[in-house]
Structure 1
Amino acid sequence: MATEGGESGRSAKHVRVLMYSHDGFGLGHVRGTQTVANALASNRPESSIVILTGSAIIRTFEFRTGIDFVCVPGVERAQGSGVCTSRTLNMSIEEVVALRRALFLQTAETMNPDIFIVDHKPSGFWGELVPTLKLLKARGCYIVFSVRNILDREPHLFLPEWNRDGAIESLERYYDEIWVHGVEEIYQPFAELPISAGLAERITYTGYLRRELPQVPINKIFPSIARSPFILVTAGGGGDGEEVIGWVIAAYEADPGMELQALIVFGPHMNADHRRGFMERIQRHPKLDAISFDTEVEVLMSKATAIVAMCGYNTFCEILSFDKPSLIVPRRRSRKEQLIRATEAERHGLLSYIVADESGHDPLRMATALRALSKQKSPSSVRIQGLLDGLDVICKSFSRAVAADRRDLTLENFKISKDVSLGAKSA
């Protein structure tokens, strides 16, 4: 590793990693960043990893030693309208983005990372990362775009947003590598995008990110329902989980002969009024129970006989990792990512899914699908090359990037140029 200007050199093992997690509107991206960060910290225990995020709950998750956060003011999107606002500050979204942009740039300037890993948005939210990308590219930092295998929506729906933020231009200009967290056989997210042949050559399909059971305190108390065979019903962050939870409760109410009990996890972002209404119905049913949220939901997944869930990326990885028969109710509003993932996964025999039809959310139709879980094969019955190799491939790529010393860290390179400082794309 090259020597820092004016300071003693870093050791060959001491790698500085800066990560950007587009926090936005749920748990998905933060949990994906947590998984990658923990794998890198395990691979290089002497590393220092800083995560740039606006997530309000990132510190509730378990991180390895060597990982810390720079938490900036958060943003959120109003359901239905798509309008973005500050989560907590009495400032315009333009002012909040300008503040975030400055904090990201200053952190990168001070930390001077060897590797910068960006999740989900190549230019950041509203292009807020462009000045940071310019600075780090000029310094020889290795820059990686780390992305799920499905980019939110069909290309014709998200390309206008990417064009507005200069995302493809950023990918072409600044990024050394793209890690697609999936397998080419199931889905190719860049196949229909207007990217150059050179950029296409930088794409690595890593495989999905295998999940391990977290360390659980000895005195942790699980719901009593988890002592017997049960179905785990999870809505992820819960911000839009009313459909799956309401449909499952209705199925149990309509079919009193359901054999397996069900444990429902609402998620921390579920609307309080919806949660109260669901709890009243759950408390009246002997085969249902619920908890608000569990940061170690993986343990409940490993204990469950089967899983009912939406089809967010992290949930899908957990279903594969813990090898559970699963019934999916994919989100279909505004974004088709989950429906695409569910459709492709069912086509490969990894799970089954159900969506409302012309009759709506028929409780007996859901009850039939729940009963069928007892006969459904587990995902491991399907053989797909490299399906869960994601973290191994990422760590190998990380090691190659670390070994390739591309820096010219003279004192002059430590100064933010006027072009970089003022180069932010207007919000």
Structure 2
Amino acid sequence: MRFLFYSHDGLGLGHTRRNLAIASALTALEPRASVLLAVGADYVSRHRLPPRVDILKLPGLRKITNGHYSARHLCIPVEEIRGLRAAMLLTAVKSFAPAVALVDKHPFGAGGEFRDGLRVLKELGGKAVLGLRDILDEPARVLEEWRPYHMQQRIADFYDAILVYGHRAVFDPLAAYEFPESVESRTHFCGYVANLENPEDVDEVNGTIPPREHRTRPLVLATAGGGEDGYVLLENFIRAAATAPWQGLVVAGPMAPEGQSHALKRLAAEHRVAFLTFVQHLSGLFGSVDALVCMGGYNTVGEAVSKGVPVVCVPRVEPRAAPQHERRGQRDEHVEGAFERGGAST
């Protein structure tokens, strides 16, 4: 059985990491399944893929503001990058002929780039499934963005199933985002999606830090996910770690701008803070550090809570807020607190 998983990847790694986790679980459960991941994130090429999973690498998009994008690498207008990505997605549907397409978050792709591909999928008898993290943004903001496109009704008319990556008791997107009643019977609350690391990968990543018995101070890890907009958080963390009674470890992220990554590396060396640009299977470290500082992204918070590590969140404010830390985290004793990004300082 063939599956096509789509994520636009305009900002951060969350969409791809979530689809990769689902693909890994799916192929483990169903030995006849093959999954093609259509992704824009460059970092996937560094990842060890599960069996029977492969990548269709789309030219990269960069999210500027909500609903507005530019080409990440190519010097071409956004209309051309969208056309190129749309053509690749359409060809993938025609050639690969998936039985199911799983679309992460954007119902018809960024800027509608997957609209034609999804139409052909249905014409060929395939099923369309929409995967949504439980909290997309503040409800008023989501409703404002969706209203001009009648998005709730279009989802109801088009999709065979909706998967919500969360628990309804924590947050109910069907009510908050005003979905029509007809959607409810096709909606499945799946719980929180977290990457399950291979024990060998956990051992490998833990080789990058000193074991607990050799530490003289608690070890605190700071990560900004992909790292594209994490400079302020990580800079403040390094300065705070310089005089703290704990040892700091910074992972900048594979999407951190090169100049910012170099600046953080110099600052970390000056203040004797451990610094890494990228760690594959980073969540494998969460169970081995004494605390975690992060930006409150879906994957990071879910994986940290599953490991029981104390967490401090400094959430993203733009282009899309990270309110999930408030509702998901308030129900877990390990989430120590969350701070407004603008008020962060050493």
TM-score by length of 1: 0.73
Alpha carbons 2:90, 2:117 under 8 Å: kept: yes
**Aligned-partner Cα distance in 2 for 1:167–1:283:** 49
Query: 1:325-372, CA deviations, whole angstroms, 9 ceiling, x for partnerless residues?
Result: 111111122322x1x2122134324412232599x4342xxxxxxxxx
**Alignment counterpart, residue 92 of structure 1, candidates 71, 77, 80:** 77
**Aligned-partner Cα distance in 1 for 2:141–2:168:** 22
Q: Secondary structure at the match of 1:311?
A: coil
Q: Secondary structure at the match of 1:344?
A: helix
**Aligned-partner Cα distance in 1 for 2:70–2:186:** 34
Matched, 1:238 2:227: yes
**What letter corresponds to residue 52 of structure 2 in structure 1?**
G
**Alignment counterpart, residue 57 of structure 1, candidates 35, 43, 46:** 43
2:86 aligned residue: 101
Counterparts of 1:6-405 in structure 2 under 5 Å? 15-78=1-64, 83-151=68-136, 153-163=137-147, 167-214=151-198, 215-216=200-201, 221-224=207-210, 228=215, 229-253=218-242, 256=243, 258-286=244-272, 288-336=273-321, 338=322, 340-350=323-333, 351-356=335-340, 360-363=343-346
Q: Secondary structure at the match of 1:343?
A: helix
The verdict on how the C-alpha distance between 1:160 and 1:101 changes in structure 2, with shifts beyond 3 A counting, is: farther
Q: Secondary structure at the match of 1:231?
A: strand
The percent of aligned pairs where both chains have the same amino acid is 28
Q: Secondary structure at the match of 2:174?
A: coil
The verdict on how the C-alpha distance between 1:219 and 1:341 changes in structure 2, with shifts beyond 3 A counting, is: closer
Alpha carbons 1:123, 1:167 under 8 Å: kept: no
**What letter corresponds to residue 348 of structure 1 in structure 2?**
R
Equivalent residues, number: 340
Q: Which runs of 5+ in 2 are unaligned?
A: none
Out of 110-119 and 35-44, give the one that drifted further: 110-119
Alpha carbons 2:224, 2:252 under 8 Å: kept: yes
The verdict on how the C-alpha distance between 1:134 and 1:302 changes in structure 2, with shifts beyond 3 A counting, is: same
**Which structure features the higher share of strand residues?**
2
- Kindly indicate whether structure 1 or structure 2 has the higher relative contact order, using CA contacts under 8 Å at least 6 residues apart: 1
Alpha carbons 1:52, 1:71 under 8 Å: kept: yes
The verdict on how the C-alpha distance between 1:159 and 1:76 changes in structure 2, with shifts beyond 3 A counting, is: same
Alpha carbons 1:123, 1:170 under 8 Å: kept: no
Out of 292-301 and 187-196, give the one that drifted further: 187-196
**Aligned-partner Cα distance in 1 for 2:277–2:8:** 24
The verdict on how the C-alpha distance between 1:89 and 1:169 changes in structure 2, with shifts beyond 3 A counting, is: farther
Q: Secondary structure at the match of 1:26?
A: coil
Q: Which runs of 5+ in 1 are unaligned?
A: 1-14, 364-427
**What letter corresponds to residue 236 of structure 1 in structure 2?**
G
The verdict on how the C-alpha distance between 1:162 and 1:62 changes in structure 2, with shifts beyond 3 A counting, is: farther
**Which has the higher Rg, Structure 1 or Structure 2?**
1
**Aligned-partner Cα distance in 1 for 2:95–2:319:** 39
Q: Secondary structure at the match of 1:307?
A: strand
Q: Secondary structure at the match of 1:18?
A: strand
Alpha carbons 2:18, 2:195 under 8 Å: kept: no
The verdict on how the C-alpha distance between 1:275 and 1:193 changes in structure 2, with shifts beyond 3 A counting, is: same
**What letter corresponds to residue 355 of structure 1 in structure 2?**
F
**Aligned-partner Cα distance in 2 for 1:217–1:343:** 29
Distance apart, 1:168 and its partner CA: 2.9
